[in-house]
Copies of this chain bind each other. A is one copy, B any other.
Amino acid sequence: MKKILVIHGPNLDLLGKRETDIYGTQTLSAINDAVTAATMAHDVQTEFFQSNHEGDIVDKIARSEVSGIIINPAAYTHTSVAIRDAIAARKDIPVVEVHLSNIYSREEFRHKSLIAPVAIGQISGFGRNSYVLGVMALLGLIDEKI
């Protein structure tokens, strides 16, 4: 049975807890539930991982036995060459980059993703649905490879 790994980057554990006026009251587990629901019809297992630690995310990418990864690198999108290299080393599986918000309508420094050039593709700006669309994209890519 195939497994998909969903990685949430730094500060995403705060979703629905802080700044609810901006990010809404939806928590990270609600996002995870939406992802799980989206995989229902497919014979796919999901694993969720959140960390504020760049090194832990690198470890996780490198050491997971999965068929594909969805990653929202959050702040590390713009600063982590280590995560970029870890993804680049996973040529064996597709990696999809997702963002809750449209990073291109935020501060200048958020317009540049170090991750994008090594991911298969990028989905940004659809809130929780960025993840759901990411799962669909990933399933399409995994199926194509089989």
How many whole Å from A107's CB to the nearest CB in chain B? 9
Number of copies of this protein chain within its complex: 12
Give how many A residues have a beta carbon under 8 Å from the other chain's beta carbons: 57
Residues of chain B within 8 A of A102, CB atoms compared: 116-117, 119-122
The answer to the question of A3 belonging to the interface, with a C-beta cut-off of 8 Å to chain B, is: no
CB-CB < 8 A to A86: which residues of B? 10-11, 52
Convert A1-24 into 0s and 1s, putting 1 for each residue whose CB lies closer than 8 angstroms to a CB of B.
000000001110110001100000
Q: Check B80–A85 contact: CB distance below 8 A.
A: no
Is A142 part of the binding interface, using a Cβ–Cβ cutoff of 8 Å?
no
Tell whether A116 pairs with B105 under 8 Å between CB atoms, given A89-B19, A126-B140, A133-B136.
yes
